[in-house]
Structure 1
Amino acid sequence: MTKRPVYPVIFTDLDGTLLDHHSYSAKPADALAARLSRQSLAEIIPVTSKTHAELLCLQQEIPLPFSLCVTENGSVIHGPESYFPGEDGRSGRITLGIAYPAIMDQIGKLPRSLRSHFRGFGDMSVDEVVDATGLAPDDARRAKDRQATEPFLWSGTDGELETLVAIVAEAGLRIQRGGRFYHLTGRATKEQAMARIIEKIAGHKPDCNLVSIALGDGPNDLAMIETADFGVIMPNPQGVTIISTRPAVRTAPAPGPAGWVTAVTEILAELGLNIPES
């Protein structure tokens, strides 16, 4: 029996993983990613908290070869029409979480005593998002282009927040805490998006042995990292480096794109894949 060729599917966080935390440069990871894509040796899939509008802009600034991506922390998958024909009411996109209009509808139904403490991106003008985030106006406009999550500021008490959590849970929503902002989302996760994409790619590459690789540096990446066949924790000098005891998880030797290249190259070599230089 002929052995099926290995086809790695690489799921990668962006900030602090594929991109440098400070410069947002992808070098030298961009060169390796380009070679893998050009020679059809692997699929590289960004998995990010960014909106699709933000990611498309980033792809123009830093040419990265990807046809599939996951945005808003696992809530939305974007890909070719052949993968997602007509799903989510439009081809090339599927919402795993709860669509933004439904989230906004639930916000509108909140009791006034809670709603008065809730100030989301949908409540803010572009200038107000600039003031709240420090983003440039164009970046703020893209950050407001939500599809399945709503960042918000909270001015109420911890007890009122607990009440809010209970109320939105009845509508299938949850609240995640970020740095300054909270995030109102559905129950979609990065690892759920990973599984859905693997299923789709397997249908298009039935003769290949798919191997998942996941890299990230934050707590919201850990489940994805631990679910993959090969997981990579990226050191995070800006915060607490996450840890795992899973045998399939390793820690990259350096943060950002340099560590990304080393970790991915090592895993590919273990899979018997030698990457030509050109």
Structure 2
Amino acid sequence: MEGLNVMAEWIVVTGLEGALLNLADEGSGADEEPMKRAIAQLKAKGVPVIVFTDSDRAEVEPIRERLGLVSPFITESGSGIFTPVNQNPFAVLLGEKEGEYYVEVLGCPYVQARAGLRVMANLIAHPLKGFGDFTVPQLEKAMQLSEAAAHRAKDREFSEPFMTPKAVDAAVLRQTAEEIGFGLLLRRPDAGRFSVMMGPEAGLEPAVQRVIAVYQQQLSEDETLKVLGLSAQADELAVLAIACSSAEWTGRVVAGPFDWLAAVAPLLA
């Protein structure tokens, strides 16, 4: 068995942007030291920290390296689950081995998501601008990223974020995506966040459900997995609560790293 076989009774499932970090970009040096210490303490106590994010693998990897995160992580709004081979905690593998990771793919190949976005734009007779249509400088400006971070943000694998059109009804977008065989994470145009074209099986709920299931399998029959769910977004926390219905659930909306540290403090006592 490669990696670690940790029998985790508690796990933390946390959003990245706005919760674990203020910005999913270059670190803030000493400001991250309390997070690093807390994550190291959780690891020492056998408590995995499962990160989920809209970002792609290339964006998450440097953050994991900085903060010392070693547990599985969920990318692209629930389109992929990555478990480091050298830190694999599962007796039953989650996904296929690809390089340094076991990868469970819930989404679709990026080229399919891009093609689906073009088809949807044609069907609704309205242009849709995805990440692939942005130049790096345009993405820097739109998302307030550095040049290096903008390059990483364009390295999508399973989904295509796009600017939510203001002139098209949300129901039309959802129905059209479904008709052409895609899933859609739809966000309001005024929310300052991108909507996401993804595979029909992808999503935060099914991705977290799979992670919860494999951790529960590690426990004995008389043990119930305990989950602390943290997110800056109340709607994401509601999705987590549904995904973790088979576990003992505690959820909390956190407004940045200080709230996050306060939320995990009881697990470190």
CA distance in 2, matches of 1:156, 1:19: 29
1:168 aligns with 2:183: no
Amino acid at match of 1:134: Q
Structure 1 residues 177, 6: CA separation in 2 closer, same or farther (over 3 Å shift)? closer
CA distance in 1, matches of 2:48, 2:187: 31
Structure 1 residues 11, 158: CA separation in 2 closer, same or farther (over 3 Å shift)? same
Aligned position for 2:249:
230
Superposition deviation, residue 85 in structure 1: 4.8
Aligned position for 1:33:
39
Aligned position for 1:246:
none
Amino acid at match of 1:184: M
In our comparison, the structure showing a higher alpha carbon Rg is 1
CA contact (8 A) 2:182 2:197 kept: no
Aligned position for 1:63:
67
1:147 aligns with 2:157: yes
User: Secondary structure of the equivalent of 1:36?
Assistant: helix
CA distance in 2, matches of 1:111, 1:189: 22
CA distance in 1, matches of 2:20, 2:186: 23
Aligned position for 1:7:
9
Superposition deviation, residue 215 in structure 1: 0.9
User: Secondary structure of the equivalent of 1:109?
Assistant: helix
CA distance in 1, matches of 2:204, 2:186: 14
Structure 1 residues 91, 56: CA separation in 2 closer, same or farther (over 3 Å shift)? closer
Structure 1 residues 85, 194: CA separation in 2 closer, same or farther (over 3 Å shift)? closer
CA contact (8 A) 2:206 2:243 kept: no
User: Secondary structure of the equivalent of 1:118?
Assistant: coil
Aligned position for 1:256:
256
Aligned position for 1:250:
none
CA contact (8 A) 1:21 1:256 kept: no
CA contact (8 A) 1:84 1:91 kept: no
1:194 aligns with 2:208: yes
Amino acid at match of 1:167: T
CA contact (8 A) 2:82 2:101 kept: no
Superposition deviation, residue 43 in structure 1: 0.9
Which residue among 116, 120, 132 is the counterpart of 2:142?
A: 132
Superposition deviation, residue 155 in structure 1: 5.1
Which residue among 43, 48, 59 is the counterpart of 1:43?
A: 48
1:96 aligns with 2:101: no
Amino acid at match of 1:33: I
Which residue among 175, 185, 203 is the counterpart of 2:198?
A: 185
User: Which whole-Å deviations, capped at 9, do the CAs of 1:173-210 have from their partners, x for residues lacking one?
Assistant: 22411533322233533232222112223344558653
Superposition deviation, residue 260 in structure 1: 2.2
- The alignment covers a number of residue pairs equal to 243
Structure 1 residues 59, 91: CA separation in 2 closer, same or farther (over 3 Å shift)? closer
CA distance in 2, matches of 1:131, 1:115: 27
User: Secondary structure of the equivalent of 1:56?
Assistant: helix
CA distance in 2, matches of 1:232, 1:28: 21
Superposition deviation, residue 91 in structure 1: 5.6
CA distance in 2, matches of 1:26, 1:49: 21
TM-score between both structures, scaled by the size of structure 2: 0.76
Superposition deviation, residue 73 in structure 1: 1.8
Superposition deviation, residue 154 in structure 1: 4.7
Structure 1 residues 91, 64: CA separation in 2 closer, same or farther (over 3 Å shift)? closer
Structure 1 residues 56, 89: CA separation in 2 closer, same or farther (over 3 Å shift)? closer
User: Which whole-Å deviations, capped at 9, do the CAs of 1:211-236 have from their partners, x for residues lacking one?
Assistant: 2221112022322046542323224x
In the alignment, structure 2 segments of 5+ residues that lack a partner are 1-6
Q: Percent identity?
A: 23
